[in-house]
Structure 1
Amino acid sequence: MKHFIAMLTLLLLPATNTWAAPRNVILLDKDSIAVKDSLEKSKKKPEKKEDEYEKLLQKGGSVQQGLFGVRHIEKNWYFEIPESALGKLFLAVTRFVSVPQDFSMLRGEEVNNNTIYFERYDDKTLFLRSWAHSQQADPNSNIARLVKQATIDPIVYQFDIIGKDKETGRLLIDVTKLFKGDNKIAGFTASDRTQVKLGGLQDDRTFIDTIKAYPINIEVSTLRTYAVSEGRAMASRDGYMTLSLNTSIVQLPEVPMQPRLADERVGYFSNKLVTFSDRETSKHDAIVSRYRLVPKDKKAYAKGKLVEPERQIVYYIDPETPKVWVPYLIQGINDWNKAFEAAGFKNAIVGKEVPEGSDISPDDARYSFLRYLPSEKENAYGPRIVDPRSGEIIESHICWYHNVMNLLTKWYMTQCGPLDKRAQTMNFEKDLMGKLIRFVSSHEVGHTLGLRHNMIASNSTPVERLRDKDWVEKHGHTASIMDYARFNYVAQPEDNIGEAGLFPRINDYDKWAIKWGYQYRPEFKDEFDEKKTLRSEVTKMLENNKRLRYKSDEGRGQDPRSQTEDLGDNAMISSEYGIKNLKRVMLNIEAWTAQPDDQTDDLSTIYRSVFAQFQRYVNHVQRYINGQYSDNWPSERRNDIVPKGLQKQAVSWFGRNVFTVPAWLYPDKIVDKLGIDTNDEVTDRANTALSYLLSAATLYNCMANSYTASEPYPLDDYLKDVFQNVWKPMSTTDKRGNNFRRRVEQNYVDFIGAAINPVKDDKKNNVQYGRSDATLYALKHLEMIDNFCREQLKNVATDDINALHYNDLLLRTRKIRDTYSKPRSE
């Protein structure tokens, strides 16, 4: 009987598989029912995934067609990825749509951005990878294979392939967890959450609101709830915060724009690039950020005619922007057309309002926007998102904080109040504020076009030209709107200079920089060939035109010509003019800031603005002491030290404005109203300056620089000049001034003592300064202090406080010598 059943079973098997499944034969011999079940299961196995796919689609839901197919079935969201999209690059940008009150970020600001692509791993798995490459090689070279093998892109997400559409070949994946979770694509990383002080994501209160499909992009809107981490003021009594985010996934161009390689003499944002080749060592370059501009009429362009681009650069204004400022913001955008004309394009850029009924959204990464943010911050900034392969700017979002107007009011009244009657009130008329907004708009648009700050631009204007009405109104007070030059505070009321000479504008450097970055040069075979020619052109242009100079230090280096908020080619002279205007502001400050009912908020605001402006002048002048020119221009000595004459001017400026009480800044009536501690403020400012002028590092550098500078400032001469600008005989009438001078002289001796006998923990100064002749010069300088004190003692009574002061200083200098002469342990 068993034999019969086994034979019968074999007859039932398909002929093609009769001898291919011996395991089934064994099973059938044991149990005919088990054999039948096994056969049924084996027949269904290949169709299981197809059944799962079909079964899911039978549930219905909604479907959209676009960059990917998007399905919403019950509570889950799905993408249908065409096989043709595998390996192609997409830009994922996530921004805040709405945030809790007092959150550290605002609506419209960026959460993250990433360049991504889908990769099929096997029949069941799809990877989402982050594209991260800064190395390249000629694809025909041997080393290209090594470069490719040596690098791998990170997997940021893994999907199970649910099924495949039989007709289209699209792969169905569930993206619900991707967009509901925290990751580098659609949410926060752990470090991001720490930065904004958010705790864990609450899954039960996190939702995908909508996913919309468009021809080249997908837009995902999510609502996310987080626990509040320690250290953050509670946004709700329950200890949770809810945020709304939007993630745009935009297809990058299939054929990248040809990159333009950076030149350190023209200021563009850039991404690093390392290039390998078989026959040469690696080359380090950088790809600049810029929009893709191609002339519509290439023949006319080649003949030097102005030509419109194939695709205009368009910035939309946030629909929520106060209507009163929209025309001025648009003007600030359109002003850049004059720069693009230098590159051969007309109507290259335009600012627009969003048309009524349009689906153009600020959250859609296909569009560039000026986002208006309801914030008390006094700022604006202009980031950009670029294709990392080519530097092509895909979109830009200027973030404009509402209280920029406060900043503009303070700047303009403080710097130009004496020059413009319209600025002599806290409520500027519409046209004045609008023009100030226009200037800031232009500056921020410049950043979104790829331009970096250029803090050396204002140095190309001689100080006295800033007072020449005809010249400054024609040429402007700074060569670049990308400088922090603000307004022409050097001009004096009697100069009668108008707006054109007071406001920044898009100027010579900006036009030159846009020409360099955006000119259409199809004649070069690749970016390396292009670079050689462009560098030669830059060298030629810079030979005789200082107004085209650029420095990349953001005003933070040792070069006094490259500073933020300064004007002209000599900070000592320009600051003296600036102080004259600050004195005029102080004479009128009560009238210009008058408020009813004894309120002093506006008075305090402008007073602190004047105070801050004066401190900027102090900082500008200080940079000249041991300053170092760092040039990258033709026919210039590189890395030379600021000449002795200018350093002497700086020391004298400190004597007049810092080591003498600036009484103009502290009128009794204002001091009483605002409760200002004058004595401490003026002493602290002087001591801060002394701590730099007499520091061990400054003395050492002064000595070392005197050996290499083309116009050296010997340390002995330097110390004599500082001394003469600090040490003065006491006044017979000015008791407050005498108190200030005593405190400053005491600190002077202490600073010299610290330079001679550095504290043990200050290892840098112990090594660098303690083993140099600078110590000997400082010891010698004590004699000058002693001689002064003895001379002053001849003119004061022995019981006078000034006699006590000078005797105390003599004791201090003796102690410094005694400490120095003692054996020092290692």
Structure 2
Amino acid sequence: MIRLKFIPVLTLALLAVEIGYAQDTTAIKKPTVVAKLKPYNQVITAKAITKTGLFSVHQIDDRYYFEIPDELLSREFLFTTRLSKVPTGSPRYGGDLMNAIIVSFEKASGDKLYVRAITNAAQSDSINVLSKAVRNSTINPIIMVLELKSRGLDGKSSVVDMTDFYLKDNLISGFHPAAKKQLGTGAAAADRSALLSMNAFPGNIEIRSMKTYALGAAPRPAANDGDGGPADASPAVSGNAGVTFEISNSVMVLAKDAMQLQAYDPRMGFKSDSYSIFTDKQQKVDERRFIIKNRLEVKPEDLKRYQAGELVEPKVPLVYYIDPATPKQYRKYMIAGINSWNEAFKGAGFKNAIIGKEWPENDKSMDLEDGRLRVIRYMPAFSPFVDNNQVTDPRTGEIIQTYIGWSHSQVKTLHDWYMVQAGAVDAGARSMQFSDELMGALIQAEITRTVGFTLGLTENLRSSTAVPLEKLRDKNWLASNAFNNSIMDYNHYNYVAQPADQVSRKGLIPRIGDYDKWAIKWAYTYTGAKDFEADKKIRLAWIANNAKVGNNLIFGSQAATTSPNEITNPAAQWEDLSNNPVKAASLGIENLKVVMANLVKWTTTGDNTYYNTSDLYLTLVSQYSFLMRIAYTQIGGVNEDIKSIEQVGDVYTPVAKNIQKEAIAFLRDEVFNTPQWLFEPSVLNKFRKPAKKEEVTRMQDNALLYLFGTNRLFRMNAATMRFGKEKVYTVDEMLTDVIAGLFGEIKTHQLVDGNKRYLQKSAVAFMLKSLAEGDVIPDPTKDVQLAGTDVPVVLRSQLSALMTQCKAAIPSYSDPVMVAHLKYISDKIDHALNPKN
């Protein structure tokens, strides 16, 4: 069971308005008689409590009104919905983003305002004749109609009653359908809902409400690690009682002076967005893809100093606040994690570009729900997670809202992973209660990585491969270098360093590395270029001159939909380390053996049960499974090195045959030969009844499943056809080596223990399954299938040889179980290959 659990982040970077809209419950039905507008003072009476900011908001008893100036009717507004307070058992937490959409208001006939969703599907410069066709053929959908109650005193503003807008469900202020599905909520109950407040700020309006929803389907549990278990308990209420949330809605006007677009390139790890471009001279529609990042600008008065190479402070720094609910002993480490990015921003020419601050608890003008503020919210959640979400301007990719959620239980996750991966080296990691200094260092690293995502960065799973294996054991090198080269590479800790290496804690915990500094420099440096194409040319030249295959500025990742067990580019995966990941995995195993030998001792101090021992054992086995996966994903792997046309060499090359053979040798020694150290009775007998499949056995099964699965065998065959059998590890070679490792004892007539006999039977079953999948008529509609390839031929040949070997070995054994086992395997293969027998 993998102990890492993450709450799924609802991807709302903007919830693009899709074709087709559900009926809006706040839309106004056509009246039979058109009511005349009332005079302003009959609507906004003397009882009104008025707050002025972006525009005026008025409260009269329990009714709330917007007074929108006409000059803002053509502007684009960002509406966001976040949770503020949640019921016990909710799979989402306070601060979580639940909806985001950009709309504009425009006057309509009959004293109404149209609310139009902004989709930005196509762009065309006005100098192109084609721009007329774009304007004539595209229209942003009207998703709501608001009735005007009055016009402003000066006749230049529109007064609308927004009470029902925020109390009832609609596409703008309600939950996104995906969020409603996860929460299991039905319709809002107006009689059990209320607006709590509206506040006006210079650039935004903040609304708080309490809304009660009927419960539909049972709430979906939060995402977990794949073990099938729930994250938090379901709400302890019936569907009739419903469920109540406090909700924060924000209305923010988008800037008139939009941030300049910056071109995306797949060789750099940044999130991106795009739109279509239409011009008169093109022969196909072009896509303009641009990166997502924060606006960071040079003050006009500092431009000359900046261009001369002097560090300057940005016009508006990136400020992050720490939730006052955060335990005091952790706050300084979170702030340090935020501020650590300043070293990277120096490469872009800025000092004090990013600032972490404690929340000013006595400042009544500050509101945690203010959408303009970046806040790290501390969640009293049982499930461990760190999440982040941003809302971006679809016109430019500018990040205009940022939020980070930190689960209280994430502290335990960091503890457990550090004990398992670094406990053999760091004596401070050998207890259930870490010092504040150690826990603070772990929190700082995790916050640093998470803040990196809010800067627009994505995971760089390739960066660790730029580090030579021996450097991960060199205490002097690690004193000044990050062990994985990038905080954005998803590695927990340095599990390669051995106890004898005397590596300090600094060399065990991830930190900002060379790639991170380069990525920030590339994205945030002001080039002075006046348009998209000129800026693009400059930045692409930087990549060509700096980020080359094999150096420490390389970037690589996997598709978001790719299973970690089925990755095709093994150089870009979670938890791998160094330029020799298989050897690194072997060293990781050595450290796990040290932890396992001391597991009971380290986890039972001051505790009269073995709950902690059980928990840490599962974490240890999870790490073992990661190391196992690093090995079997090398098999049939193809390296992907994205290049532009001026860079020499191929983009796709096979993983070297010797590396794949080393991976099979690792699996033979550490997985297929029973890892008795993980089955140690003196440990397992403390907390685990022998009544179900052991976790280790499950992991061993997985290794065989993915080795002999259709996808891997097909990829290996395809690689052989593309690159030639001299350059790749063929299916026949792999099966020969795996069978030799699994059934080696049979050749020398040695007894096989029960665990390995289980694996032998599993291996035969998986091979027969793939053979059966290949023995069918090829389906031309499928991209991946074994039918028609050489794989079934090779499988039949290997299974036939194994059957003969097992039959021949039977007379050499006197042990009745071994005799029955070999007869079972040979009969099973014989029945599959020769059904008539």
Q: Give the TM-score normalised by structure 1.
A: 0.89
Alignment CA distance shift 1:773-1:171 (3 Å): closer
Could you say which residue in structure 2 is the equivalent of 1:255? 257
- Percentage of matched positions with identical amino acids: 31
Q: Once the two structures are superposed, what CA deviation does each residue of 1:51-96 show, in whole Å capped at 9, x if it has no partner?
A: 5544334463222222112122243211111110111112212211
Q: Report deviation, 1:185.
A: 2.2
Alignment CA distance shift 1:94-1:658 (3 Å): same
**Equivalent residue for 1:690, pick from 700, 704, 707:** 704
Q: Once the two structures are superposed, what CA deviation does each residue of 1:104-154 show, in whole Å capped at 9, x if it has no partner?
A: 111111111111211112251111222111321112211122222222222
Alignment CA distance shift 1:680-1:51 (3 Å): closer
Q: How does 1:391-406 map to 2 (within 5 A)?
A: 391-406=397-412
Could you say which residue in structure 2 is the equivalent of 1:658? 671
Provide the secondary structure at the position in 2 that maps to 1:533: helix
Provide the secondary structure at the position in 1 that maps to 2:723: coil
Q: Which amino acid in the other structure matches residue 287 of structure 1?
A: F
Could you say which residue in structure 2 is the equivalent of 1:13? none
Distance 1:651 1:361 in 2: 57
Distance 1:586 1:733 in 2: 32
Q: How does 1:444-523 map to 2 (within 5 A)?
A: 444-522=450-528
1:183·1:189 contact (CA, 8 Å) conserved in 2?
no
Provide the secondary structure at the position in 2 that maps to 1:308: coil
Q: Report deviation, 1:731.
A: 12
Could you say which residue in structure 2 is the equivalent of 1:62? 49
675-684 or 574-583: which moved more? Answer: 675-684
1:543·1:635 contact (CA, 8 Å) conserved in 2?
no
1:758 paired to 2:773: yes
Distance 1:807 1:601 in 2: 42
Could you say which residue in structure 2 is the equivalent of 1:546? 551
Could you say which residue in structure 2 is the equivalent of 1:211? 198
1:435 paired to 2:441: yes
Provide the secondary structure at the position in 1 that maps to 2:571: coil
Could you say which residue in structure 2 is the equivalent of 1:566? 576
1:670 paired to 2:675: no
Alignment CA distance shift 1:676-1:704 (3 Å): farther
1:457·1:547 contact (CA, 8 Å) conserved in 2?
yes
- Which has the higher relative contact order, 1 or 2, with Cα contacts under 8 A spaced 6 or more apart? 2
Could you say which residue in structure 2 is the equivalent of 1:196? 183
Q: Which amino acid in the other structure matches residue 338 of structure 2?
A: I
**Equivalent residue for 1:292, pick from 292, 295, 307:** 295
Could you say which residue in structure 1 is the equivalent of 2:14? none
1:461·1:569 contact (CA, 8 Å) conserved in 2?
yes
Provide the secondary structure at the position in 2 that maps to 1:757: helix
Alignment CA distance shift 1:436-1:680 (3 Å): closer
Distance 2:786 2:650 in 1: 27
Provide the secondary structure at the position in 2 that maps to 1:768: coil
Q: Which amino acid in the other structure matches residue 708 of structure 1?
A: R
Distance 2:550 2:316 in 1: 33
Q: How does 1:160-559 map to 2 (within 5 A)?
A: 160-167=147-154, 169-232=156-219, 233-236=234-237, 239-280=241-282, 281-296=284-299, 297-355=302-360, 356-522=362-528, 524-543=529-548, 546-553=551-558, 556=562, 557-559=567-569
Distance 1:291 1:362 in 2: 20
1:731·1:738 contact (CA, 8 Å) conserved in 2?
no
1:611 paired to 2:621: yes
Q: Which amino acid in the other structure matches residue 202 of structure 2?
A: P
Distance 1:279 1:588 in 2: 71
Q: How does 1:78-117 map to 2 (within 5 A)?
A: 78-117=65-104
Q: Which amino acid in the other structure matches residue 603 of structure 1?
A: T
**Equivalent residue for 1:579, pick from 585, 589, 599:** 589
Q: Which amino acid in the other structure matches residue 255 of structure 1?
A: D
Alignment CA distance shift 1:171-1:767 (3 Å): closer
Could you say which residue in structure 1 is the equivalent of 2:797? 780
Alignment CA distance shift 1:115-1:629 (3 Å): same
Could you say which residue in structure 2 is the equivalent of 1:16? none
Provide the secondary structure at the position in 2 that maps to 1:215: coil
Q: Which amino acid in the other structure matches residue 148 of structure 2?
A: I
Distance 1:632 1:767 in 2: 24
Alignment CA distance shift 1:73-1:691 (3 Å): closer
Q: Report deviation, 1:559.
A: 0.7
Q: Report deviation, 1:446.
A: 0.5
Distance 1:812 1:248 in 2: 65
2:76·2:102 contact (CA, 8 Å) conserved in 1?
yes
Q: Once the two structures are superposed, what CA deviation does each residue of 1:181-203 show, in whole Å capped at 9, x if it has no partner?
A: 11232222555323211122111
Where has structure 1 moved over 6 Å in runs of 4 or more? 731-735, 759-767
Q: Once the two structures are superposed, what CA deviation does each residue of 1:208-252 show, in whole Å capped at 9, x if it has no partner?
A: 111112222111111111122243545446622111111111122
Q: Once the two structures are superposed, what CA deviation does each residue of 1:245-303 show, in whole Å capped at 9, x if it has no partner?
A: 11111122111011112111111111122211111132223221111111220001111
1:554·1:563 contact (CA, 8 Å) conserved in 2?
no
1:702 paired to 2:716: yes
Alignment CA distance shift 1:477-1:386 (3 Å): same
Provide the secondary structure at the position in 1 that maps to 2:144: strand
452-461 or 594-603: which moved more? Answer: 594-603
Alignment CA distance shift 1:776-1:235 (3 Å): closer
Q: Which amino acid in the other structure matches residue 377 of structure 1?
A: S
Alignment CA distance shift 1:192-1:783 (3 Å): closer
Q: Report deviation, 1:729.
A: 2.1
1:228·1:234 contact (CA, 8 Å) conserved in 2?
no
Could you say which residue in structure 1 is the equivalent of 2:128? 141
2:81·2:175 contact (CA, 8 Å) conserved in 1?
no
Name structure 2 gaps, 5 residues minimum.
1-33, 220-233
Q: Once the two structures are superposed, what CA deviation does each residue of 1:348-390 show, in whole Å capped at 9, x if it has no partner?
A: 1101123332412120011111111111121112222222211
Q: Which amino acid in the other structure matches residue 261 of structure 1?
A: A
Q: Once the two structures are superposed, what CA deviation does each residue of 1:757-789 show, in whole Å capped at 9, x if it has no partner?
A: 338899769993232332222222234313422
Alignment CA distance shift 1:515-1:626 (3 Å): same
Q: Which amino acid in the other structure matches residue 655 of structure 1?
A: R
Q: Which amino acid in the other structure matches residue 656 of structure 1?
A: D
| Matched residue count | 773
1:182·1:189 contact (CA, 8 Å) conserved in 2?
no
Q: Give the TM-score normalised by structure 2.
A: 0.88
Output the aligned Cα RMSD.
2.6
Q: Report deviation, 1:644.
A: 1.1
Distance 2:706 2:591 in 1: 27
Q: Which amino acid in the other structure matches residue 194 of structure 1?
A: K
Q: Which amino acid in the other structure matches residue 704 of structure 2?
A: L
1:316·1:354 contact (CA, 8 Å) conserved in 2?
yes
Name structure 1 gaps, 5 residues minimum.
1-46
2:636·2:729 contact (CA, 8 Å) conserved in 1?
no
Alignment CA distance shift 1:704-1:69 (3 Å): closer
Q: Report deviation, 1:496.
A: 0.5
1:789·1:806 contact (CA, 8 Å) conserved in 2?
yes
Q: Report deviation, 1:697.
A: 4.5
